[in-house]
Structures are given as structure tokens and as C-alpha cells.
Structure 1
Amino acid sequence: MTSHRLQRWAIILMAYQYVVKYRKTTEHGNADALSRLPLGYDKNFDDEEARYNVRELYTPINAEIICRHAENDKVLKRVCSYVQRGWPEKLSPQDADLRPFFNHRFALTIKSNLPCLQTEYNRVIIPASLCGQILRLLHDGHWGVTKMKQLARRNIWWVNMDKDIVEMCSNCDICKVVNPAPARQYESWPDTNRPWERVHIDSAGPVFNSMWLICVDAFSQFPFIVQMTTTTTVHTISALSCGCG
């Protein structure tokens, strides 16, 4: 369950022989200078900084709200009951809605009355009635699919969460614009009004031990084909010149 980044660091460190030594905090002034700056208490600086601190933060969704919705969620109530009493060896066909939780049964737990999924992080299981609101909070800022999944996988989980994230981003015009690899849109060639207004050219082969230069008129679909020994630029220009002549 270790993240790929930590695995790569572990592989890099395996190439070295090193000794870990303890160093006191007072001797760590050269590291993390902003947090370990070896200066005394500065009351004026702290008072000035305190003016910009957030005194009260309104949280749209907190643990109390999640607990209240979880109590009204029939599926989560059954899941919590199984977590506390133990899961059966098999699920009946009538319990198909519990299958995703059954597949993660060894990683499910309850903390502070909240059902959680323990993976690399302790993730709160979101009731179905709050999934839409949580999804909108994740989408705020238009981070894109990858960033939204990273944020979600650190804190929360629900069934088909990744699918819902992909669907929301695919329907968002802003996410499509800022996406480093936006979805490709294909369009047909514009119609032509007369012969030789647009010509499509390509090389084919080897066929019958030869290469073939194929030109097709977009208006009449008339083909012009030349047998060639090679498809270099010089030979291609020569074939086109002879054909035009």
C-alpha cells in the first residue's frame, strides 16, 4: 500500500551505505530555515502576523453532519453493523449493494462514530446523500481529474468515487480548457466546390515490390497513382510535376 514516491525513495536509498545519527533541534538551524530560524521571540512580528490569522473557519461539512447523514443511510447502517458484529463468509444475492464494502471488509473500521476505510490514509466513508456536495467541493477550483482523485484518496471514499470524479470533469468546460491533454475533437474536411481545389496525397507500399504515390481529388474522388522506387522528397516532387504536366 506504500505510495510509488516512497517506493522510489526506498530504492534510491538502497544503493547507499549510511549511518543515521540523532541531532538536536538547536543544531538544525541550517535545515528548514523558515521554521527553525535561530532567533529569539519577536512580539511585534508575532502580533503583526496574528492579524492575518483565520480566527473562525466555517466548514460546510463536518463530522457531525456526516454522522447524521450516515445514521439515515440504510446501506451504511448495515455496513457499520457488520463491522461491529463481523461479516458473513458470503453475501446473499439480496445484499448486492453491500458488495463494494464486503470487498474492503478487512480495511473497514469505525472511528468517532464515523465509518472509515483504512488504506494508506484513514478515509471517511461518505453517505450517498452527501456525495454530490462533497464532489462539488472537490471540483471547486477546477483542479482536473488527477488532482481531484489525489485529494479524495487522502480523505474520503464512496462507491464509484473515481467514476463520479471523471464524469464531473468530463462535463466541465473549464476543466477541459485547463486540462494539459484536452479531449480531441475531430471534424470532417470542408466540402469542395470544384475539381482539384483540394488534393489528398499519401504514399502506400511496398506493394508488388514498389512504392506508390496516391493523389485523390477531394471533389471528384479521381485517383492519380504513380509507381515509385523511393518516396524521397525529390522523387515525390518530380512525380507530382510530371503528373501536373
Structure 2
Amino acid sequence: NEVKFIGFKFNSEGMSTDSDRVKAVQELSMPKNKTELQSLLGFVNYLRAFIPNYSEIISPLRDLLKRNIEFRWEKNHTDVVEKLKGLISERTKLANFDPNKPINLECDSSKDAIGFALFQDDQPVHYGSRSLTDCEQNWAQIEKEYLAITYACQKLHNYLFGHKSVTIFTDHSPLLAIHTKNFDKIKNNRLKNLKLKLLHYDFSLKYKPGKELYSADLLSRNIIPTRSSEPDSGDIIHSLCCNELVVSSEKMDLFVQETSKDPVLKHILEYYHSQWPNRHTLNQIGGDLVHFHNLRNDITVEGGLVYLNQRLVVPTSLRAMMVDLLHETHLGLEKCKAKARQLIYWPSINSQVENTISKCYVCQRFSRKNIKEQLINHDIPDTPFSKIGLDVAE
């Protein structure tokens, strides 16, 4: 009723660690240098699937492997190794996968790693995690969270592909709005690429607070070095843009500089790469941050600029210039508003456009409502009914 295979035992209840493997771990001696420590972690790492908080536990041991750090074995390191031995001795079981049962998949990302945990009937079936590359560590938090979901789906492809009852949980609520958007509505190319990789899978994405996402949160803090062979996804996906705001490189640099100095947009840049605070904190800071907080699910940052969907959010110092450019050819009020809705955005943009046009001397002088239509004379007919006039009334 039980089979041993590559260090694990399989039976009708699920998968657990082999007692011979556990005994080998319990008999491990304390390492005396970095090489022995690497061997110990490599040996224990084979059983990491049974220890959801593995990375948290071995954090003091990882510190000893850093460059320019002297190897000094102390009591706290011994305690970590003993704790690992005790946890492995408990021999946590992973349940067997049942394709007929619903799947719950928890995904999370920390600043250095991503992790996931697959459950059926609240029983763990599979754990997984990997560290982020140097490039990925510089991604925005929403991109890391989406990467965690993509990595989990690809890693669990044999479990998820074709399954009709899959629910994925994330603790990053803005991701829900991004995931439901069409590709042409997503400004960020990296998010487009990640969304493209998920088209193979049929699942519903739901929000769960981080304090309830225990397993995935712990796994995402595993930063054992691994390398991804995938190229940077920022240069892979390109899309057709229906509206384009053409600016010179000098103007682009000016927009980036003014955005970084803007009292509101500089906070949005920070919150986008970390986490939005609550409304109480934003009320204390003041400005239009509360307004942008309501739109945070549609905000993206690319190249140091802030976008609302596909519209550029203009910093305060450049808004008057942008309104003048919109009205440069003296378009009417509605046409100017329509053009603004396609390209740029800031709070109360319609009011500022209306005020500018209402003060325009040229528009006021040549406005249609001030031009009187001249009467057109016509020849008097010689005979009755030689000229007939018709009109339609409701």
C-alpha cells in the first residue's frame, strides 16, 4: 500500500518524506565552513516542499553565505538547524491531486521572491517558490504580483490546464482590475506580456488580504538564488496605438523631471512601486491624492511618467502649456475636450479647458453665435405656382 521513490513515500493519503531521508537529515553535523553549509542547505532543500516557511527559518544561514561576510557559527545558527530537523521529522503530508475537485491557488510576491501554494479541500497539494532576478527585483509591485501568478500557472500547468474550477487568490487588489482589461487598455508592456501567458488557463482571480495568505506569503520570502532564462518582457509585446502624443526627447525629459517634482505625482510614483496607503493617510498629505486613490486600479507608470489607462497624467506645472497646445488651432470647446479625453488627464481638466477657451479673444470675435446670417433675395415669380416652398413640422 506504500511506494518509496526518490526520497518520498506515496500512498492513498498523499505524499510524505521517506523515513530514511529524515534519519539522514537528523544525523547531519554542524557545518564548519561555507562549503559545508552550502551542502547542508542543498540536502535539506530537497524537502523544502514540506516546509511552507522554509525561507524564513533559514534566513540566518543564508546570511553566512553572503560575500565579504566572515563565517562565524553561533548558537542561533545551531538552533536553526535543529529546528529544521524537528520540522522535517514531523513529515508533513501533501495530499494527492484530484482533477474532479476545485483548485484554490494562493500567489504572493515579496521584494526578492515569489511563491505559491495549491490547495484542494483546504489540504496542501503543492508548494513552490523562486527568487527574483536582479532585473525582476526592480519591477513595480503590481508586476511582481502578476509574475507570481504567471510563474505558478506555468509551474502547475499539468494541474491547471483544462481545469474548469480554478480560483487564484492575490493580496494585491489593483491586479483584479488589470486582469479584466482588454490588451489595448493596458499601457504597461510587461503586464501585457504576463497576461498573454495566462490565456491558456481558465480561472477566476480574487482578492484575499495578505494576513490571510499565509502559505504563499511565507514562500514568497524564499530568496535562494535561482536564475530565469526568460528575457526581459518589456521588449517583447508591442501593440497598435490608435492615439499618440508626439513629443521631442527634450519635452519628454521635461515631463519626467516635472513629474518627479510634482507634489502629487511624486507620491503616486512611490505608491505604484510599493503600496497605496489608506485614505486617512492620504487626507493628511492633502492634494489630489484621494482623487487618484479612487483611480489607482487604472494607473500605471512607464518610463517615469504616470498614465491613467492610455492618457498621460500631466504634472501641475505643465498643464497650462498643454491646454494652450490643445487650443492652438482654436478648436471649439467640445472638440478640445474630446481631444483631451484621448491623450491627457488631470483633475478638473474640463474646467481648465473651458476657462481657457472662454478667455480666448480670437474665439470670442469669430464665434458663430456673433455672426448674423444675411438674407438672400430671390426673384419674384411671374405666374402663380411657378415657385413652391415646403417645410416639415412635427
Which bin holds the TM-score, normalised by the shorter protein? 0.3 to 0.5
TM, length-normalised to structure 2: 0.29
Q: TM-score normalised to the size of structure 1?
A: 0.46
